[in-house]
Amino acid sequence: MKIGLAVGDVRGPATLDAITGQVRVAADAGFGTAWASQALGWDALTTIAVAGAAADIAVGTAVVPIPQRHPLVLAGQALTVQAAVAGRLTLGVGAGVAAMVSGMFGLPTDRPVQRMRDYLTVLGPLLRGESVDHRGETLTAMGAVNVPGVPAPSVIVAAMGPRMLRLAGELADGTVTWMTGPKALGEHVVPVITKAAADAGRPAPRVVAGLLVCVTGTADDVRARIAEQFALAGQVPEYRAMLDREGVAGPQDVAVVGTETEVAQALSRLRDAGVTEFMAAPYGDADEQDRTIDLLADLAH
């Protein structure tokens, strides 16, 4: 199991220089990938184009929500970033949290799997430099993106429900999860997407699992902080479904928190569940994050 490091907003407010520094730390420490999420601050793709160009490490988005970006637009953005980082991009996309997509942007959230199917059907050819003429149930796209000499990035999909997982196995290179523990991964996510990829004649899928991580001697205190800070996230239906599959109360219960030995054991459980890449999001103050990164770097080797 490869280990990557989350950078940017998920670790707390940071300047662009600070995020670039986080990416350099990840590269120097030997992590596999530096992952940026799309929240309400820095644009994930632009951020990793700048920060990723300054360090020799694979970079990825986990994830860019698709409702706000037409595939012709996203394909052009992604290929531009791919050129900037010398072919080291993984493009993670997702349907977005429904409450935000509808409440903040006024965009439809019905039929998310069909919308993602239409989107991926168009996005793949566009990333390969092909023309599209698509008039689907939820999407119209006609034209091509001309970015010469840039290979298509790997595409993974934020998928947790069975239908989205089957779609990711069929049309993408894998999935990326958030707040999903080893039980739900091993019993649900991995088998569903793996079967779908095999049925579609595709290679074994990438399974990127993202979780908060904190190496600490005061686990109860850290979990209490996580419970308070991520209380709303634990109520989001998309995440709540995975927490229920895990049989836990909230995000604090799937976070990887404990001593060096306990954290290493938790990562072993993720590996045994079939996770191919762990996206570690260091949690806590600067000292806690530094201690966490030190351990993760050792485990990454």
The CATH number of the domain holding residue 8 is 3.20.20.30
CB 291 within 8 A of CB 220: no
In tens, the pLDDT along 261-293 reads: 999 999 999 999 999 999 999 999 999 999 999
My answer on whether omega of the bond before 275 falls inside 30° of 0, hence cis, is no
Helices 286-300 and 260-272: crossing angle, nearest 10°?
50
- How much is the pLDDT for 39? 85
Tokens linked to 205: 């899928």
Q: Which helix (H) or strand (E) holds 39?
A: none
Q: Which of 54-68, 94-108, 131-145 has the weakest average pLDDT?
A: 94-108
CA distance 45 to 245: 32
- How much is the pLDDT for 100? 86
- Mean pLDDT, the chain, rounded, equals 96
- How much is the pLDDT for 81? 98
Residue 129's domain comprises 2-300
CA distance 160 to 177: 7
Count the Cβ atoms, other than its own, within 10 Å of residue 159.
Answer: 29
- Tell me whether strands 58-61 and 33-36 are parallel, antiparallel or unpaired: parallel
pLDDT higher than threshold 90 for residue 88: yes
Q: Which of 247, 242, 184, 252 is nearest to 216 (CA)?
A: 252
CB 275 within 8 A of CB 233: no
In tens, the pLDDT along 174-216 reads: 999 999 999 999 999 999 999 999 999 999 999 999 999 999 9
pLDDT higher than threshold 90 for residue 99: no
Torsion sign over Cα 280, 286, 291, 297: positive
In tens, the pLDDT along 121-162 reads: 999 999 999 999 999 999 999 999 999 999 999 999 999 999
Tokens linked to 242: 């995975």
pLDDT band (50, 70, 90) for residue 97: confident
pLDDT higher than threshold 90 for residue 98: no
**Domain count across the chain:** 1
Q: Which of 39-43, 75-79, 93-97, 171-175 has the weakest average pLDDT?
A: 39-43
Q: Which of 129, 27, 114 is nearest to 72 (CA)?
A: 129
pLDDT higher than threshold 90 for residue 227: yes
Helices 44-52 and 71-84: crossing angle, nearest 10°?
10
pLDDT higher than threshold 90 for residue 40: no
In percent, the amount of the chain with pLDDT more than 70 equals 100
pLDDT band (50, 70, 90) for residue 74: very high
CB 55 within 8 A of CB 29: no
Q: Which helix (H) or strand (E) holds 84?
A: helix 71-84
Q: What is the largest CA-CA distance in the chain?
A: 57
In tens, the pLDDT along 8-19 reads: 999 999 999 999
In percent, the amount of the chain with pLDDT more than 90 equals 92
CA distance 174 to 138: 23
pLDDT band (50, 70, 90) for residue 29: very high
- How much is the pLDDT for 11? 94
